[in-house]
Amino acid sequence: MKKILAILAICVLFASMSVVTAAPIPTVDVLKNKMSNVEKIYSTTSVDWTGEFAGALGDLKKVNGEWNFTAHGYMAGVYQGHNRGRLFGNLYDLNQTQVGTIAGYFGRGLLVGRVTANGGQQAPIVGFLFHNATMFIGRVMSLMGPAPHIIGYHWTT
């Protein structure tokens, strides 16, 4: 019951925050430079995935009038759906070594799911996720740890 209340409290916190906190997307060149060596993965399940995604997790800050994204890790995976659906992917450190997985459901600007470390530890996540025809941006939060921005590309297969 305490976990449910904590998750509801986090959702209320996100709903009360201004959408302005989801900063504008940096230029495509900045993102390509940050994600140049991200590995793509393909799910071994029988789900008919709609597309793939690759992105980075990190801090997005405005420094001297320009947006600066500092990556702390990468993610790559597959998704099903467009405005609503589900996703599955791997999480990588800066050396492109897999450190865990991410799985969840997205829709109407929200993302709900879980991250799992290679050691088996799991944590629920909630967050915002916005996208256009080729890019996505958002911010995720868990019961513990920082609330990194996620930013990247998605494409249909």
Q: In this model, does residue 23 exceed pLDDT 70?
A: no
For the stretch 77-86, pLDDT in tens is 889 998 899 9
So what's the pLDDT on residue 5?
54
Q: For residue 67, how many other CB atoms are within 10 A of its CB?
A: 14
So what's the pLDDT on residue 37?
46
Q: Report CA Rg, the chain.
A: 15
Give the CATH number, domain containing residue 11. Answer: 2.40.160
- Spatial distance between the Cα atoms of 71 and 150, rounded to a whole number of angstroms: 9
Task: Copy the structure tokens of residue 141.
Answer: 């939060």
Binning pLDDT at 50, 70 and 90, where does residue 43 land?
Answer: very low
- Spatial distance between the Cα atoms of 20 and 110, rounded to a whole number of angstroms: 15
Minimum mean pLDDT among 38-52, 95-109, 130-144: which range?
38-52
- What is the longest distance spanned by two Cα atoms in the chain? 48
Look at the chain and report how many structural domains it folds into: 1
So what's the pLDDT on residue 99?
93
- Spatial distance between the Cα atoms of 157 and 154, rounded to a whole number of angstroms: 10
So what's the pLDDT on residue 22?
42
Domain coverage including residue 16? 2-156
Residue that wins the pLDDT comparison between 46 and 19: 46
So what's the pLDDT on residue 68?
86
Average pLDDT, the chain: 77
So what's the pLDDT on residue 62?
87
pLDDT mean over 26-33: 50
